[in-house]
Homo-oligomer: A and B are copies of this chain.
C-alpha cells in the first residue's frame, strides 16, 4: 500500500484533502470547514462552532507554562475564533486526558484558568469529560458562539480595493516564546539560574496569557463598521493573509513600516539576533484580528486606537506583496507556525 507522509501536505492542505469528499446535507449547516468557525442557521440566529485539540509537547510545554495560564489561554484562543467571525462566544466544552503525573490540584489550577477566562468573557462551561492518558496532557475545547443575521464575517468577503487592518501588535507572542525557550535552556544548564524577565512583561503576557479582541469587536460594532473579511492571527500575518486572499480571490500589498510592533518585541529580537519583521509575519499566537474594510470606512478606522491599516487588497494577479522600507517588493511566503512540522 502506498504511504504518503503527512508532512507532504501542510496543515490546511491535509484538512482540505481529508474533508473535501464530505457533502453538506442539513439545512441548518450554513458554513462548514474552512473558516475560524462553522456557522449554523436557526431562524434569525446564527450559531458559531469552533474547536481546538491541544497536546502536551506539541502545542504547549509545561516546563514554562503554568497550568492556570494554560487553561486561560486554551479557552481564550477559542473565544478568539468566535470574535474573528464577528460573533460572541457563549458556551464551551472542555475535555481533558491526563496521565498519572497530574494531581487533582493540578487540574484545579487548569480549571481555575478556564473559569477566569469564562468569567471575563461571559462564557458558560457546558460539558466535557476527563479520561486517562498514557502520556501527558491532552485538551480538547469546543466553543459555541452567536452572531447576528447579516453580520457574520467570513474570510471570503474582501474586495480588491479594501483596506487591510490589524489590531494590537504582531510578533510579540513569538518573541515571548523565544524568551521562554532561552530561559528553559539556561535553566537546564544551571538550575540555580534565575530567569531574566525584567522589562519583558508585555511579550511574556502575550505568550502566556493572551486576550481575545472582544474590545475591538465591540468598538467596530459601536462605530457601525462591518469588516468585509476577518480572521484571527494565530499562525502569523503571512499565512492568514494568504487564507483571506485565496478565499476572497484577491492579491494584497502590505507595507512593512505599517506593521505594528511592540518595543519589547524589538529589543528581544535584537538580543536574539532575529528579524522582528519575520516574527510579525510568520510568528504565531498573537491572537490579534486581521480584517479588511471598505475604503469608505477609512476615516472611521484611521481614528480608532488599537487598529493599524497595514496595506490594501489588490487584483489577484498582482499576488501577495510585502513592500519593504526602501520600497522594494517581496513576495509574501506563508511559513506560518505549523504544528504539523
Chain A contact residues, CB within 8 Å of chain B: 1-6, 8-9, 11, 14-15, 17-19, 21-26, 28-29, 31-33, 37-38, 40, 42-45, 47, 49-53, 55-59, 90-91, 93, 95-98, 100, 102-105, 107-108, 111, 115, 118, 122-136, 138, 140, 142, 144, 146, 339-341
Contacts and interface: CB of A to CB of B under 8 A. Distances in A.
Q: Which label, helix, strand, loop or mixed, suits the secondary structure of the A interface?
A: mixed
Contacts of A29: 90-91, 124, 126
B5 A97 contact: no
Nearest to A55: B97
Contact of A6 (B90, B91, B107, B111): B107
A13 to B, nearest CB: 10
Given A59-B131, A146-B28, A108 B138 contact: no
A1 B105 contact: yes
Contacts of A17: 104
Q: How many copies does the complex hold?
A: 2
Contacts of A138: 53, 55, 97, 138
A24 B142 contact: no
Contact of A97 (B51, B53, B127): B53
Given A21-B111, A25-B123, 13 more contacts: A4-B105, A6-B130, A14-B130, A19-B111, A28-B146, A29-B90, A29-B126, A32-B125, A33-B128, A47-B47, A49-B126, A53-B131, A138-B138
B14 A104 contact: yes
A219 B32 CA distance: 31
Contacts of A107: 6, 14, 18
Nearest to A143: B142
B28 A129 contact: no
Nearest to A104: B4
A5 to B, nearest CB: 7
B126 A33 contact: yes
A125 B22 CA distance: 7
A24 B44 CA distance: 23
A71 to B, nearest CB: 10
A61 B105 CA distance: 30
Contact of A131 (B11, B103, B118): B11
7 contacts: A22-B124, A24-B126, A26-B90, A32-B127, A43-B43, A50-B127, A132-B340
Contacts of A21: 111, 115
Contacts of A59: 131
